[in-house]
Structure 1
Amino acid sequence: MIRVDDTYDAFLLESGGEEACYDYFYQCRWPSGYRCPSCGHKDCYIISTRRLPLYECVHCRCQTSVTSGTALEGTRTPLSKWLYAMKLLGRPAAGVNAVLLGKLLKVTYKTAYAMLDKIRHCLSLLPPEKLSGEIQAGISVMGWTIDSGYELTEKQHPIAVGISLDENGEPDRLAMMVVPRTHMMNYSLKPSGRDLFRETHFSDDADTLSNTIYHSQLLTIKRCRSLVSIYKASYKQINGIYRGVHPRSLPKYLAEFTFRWNAAARNGNTGNCIGTSISTITATSSSSVPNTSSSNSTSSSTNTSSSKRTSVSSITSASISISRQIAQACMAYSLSHLAAA
């Protein structure tokens, strides 16, 4: 349920407007200042005759913008609406579907779906987080629950799920993966499927690799009490908020759920602090974001700090909000990455 103070208009007032949202994405892409994506030079001219300013490198004349070379390249949707969508998608309690997002942003369903699909795709491309220490892991099946005998139907999809436990026995990290049917024997996970899940989501130490991955859903329910409630919540969210998903898109939705769950766990489940993040960035942006107020096509050159584009590894920092982690993921991957995936 979206509260009145969570509407797009309220978010725009709280965040400081479109310029503050632009500065937010600028900081996500160049946290220490502009760097030419072609030669790495730090000086640029500003071409401010377009909706989004262009930065022209003084060394190689390469022109780039905040969104060029990212998943947001070519978008005609205001960046504030993208950031609002990321805020809703990053809520620890639940995400948002395209129908609701379209109504909140006053855009078409097609636009809202494309925005959410790009964000989820970027999250699915992030390197999987590794489980370590004591682990509960097993197999579950998503889809129709009608008794179909001993064979999986086309509408049933096997999911490998695992959580790592902290010193107090509480879940602190989650991993989920759609299991290819070649690694299943009816409702049981083959040894090859268990090896695939270990290789993808387990750390390399011997103690972690020695954890048992239960090959059937019945054993998983009996032996993995902490795990069952988590994957039931994910299924409830997919069926409740999204009204089910196409099998082709299921890995993206699982990636969204696991990313949000792990990010909330790292942040102490304190929820989304997007307003604080924007205020902090806006206060410091004057020293690193070039002045875009000039109407000339070639403004004066600007110097910025020497640091390369943010790396994917920095996305997992526990000190930043869930929404900023999502924004950094979208800044880290280009449209070519999405097309190749």
Structure 2
Amino acid sequence: MLLKTKMEKIINSSYNNIGGMIVLKNSKILYENYFNECNAASTFHVFSVTKSIVSILIGIAIDREYIKSINQKILDFFPDYTVKRGEKTIQNVTLKDMLTMTAPYKYKSEPYTEYFASDNWVNSALDLLGGKGKIGEFRYTPLIGPDILSGILAKTTGQSVLDFAAKYLFLPLDIHVEGNIVFHNKKEQLDWYKEKNVRGWVADRAGVNTAGWGLNLTTTDMAKVGQLYLDKGIWKGKQIISSDWINESTKEHSICKQWKLSYGYLWWIIDDKEHAYAAMGDGGNVIYVNTKKKMIVAIASLFIPRAKDRLKFIKGYIEPMFENFA
């Protein structure tokens, strides 16, 4: 009890934008608490945790043969897209390059204003893909780029990303994502970032859901996703996603030198020896899975810029506190 009190003092002093936290070990909830007037029903914009959810959906689409292979060329999915004269790099980018953040882009800094002003974020991302960079070099793209993956899911499955997710992932896990959030101007989007407890999944005006950000989940939803992966894709006796995809997507395929972390298929690889990996989003949103210790930590946070590193908190305080529990 004293250790938990100490941990909560650390949360209140150094990680005071946390809204909810759940710790599971051996499928049992060892800790669940909420802060900042949040509760179990509160939803949070999980930012780049969205990417890892999209990775799961790509895996399910491959399992169900909507997508043949991650080695398919991106342009194979968009036969109506016209490549500008002289552009060669984009023609060789594969789905795997997108999943491992090793695809090149034409911009130095993301042109957010122009991008969000467009009605079709998938086409806008395709327009920015390629350029003079080399395929195979890690380049993390927070918002612009991953939307191409949403476009692929919509094209191959013949339904919206949210509908596909609801049928094959959210419904089995009893996760409720209420609908699309569509912004009509910049002010709506900026105001939305400041709101608490918004529900749904952001989509462009063409109705395609975002892949790099924009999904809202509860802390429990995040913990469920972690448990699904720890249990090799099985939920209540049913195989939701193949264990092969989980193994492949949570092992090193590329390296981010800037943050000294390995990267899988839209999952960060934290510790090879313990097979620990995480979905991480801006503001301090994390789904952390430690396979060896059979432990999951889900942290949902209210957005603040430059939030303190949750991994240090998890590795330094949370894991040592709970690792000896049965």
Common topology (TM > 0.5): no
**TM-score under structure 1 normalisation?**
0.24
Q: Which has the larger radius of gyration?
A: 1
| Bigger strand fraction | 2
Name which structure has the greater RCO, CA cutoff 8 Å, separation 6+: 1
**TM-score under structure 2 normalisation?**
0.25
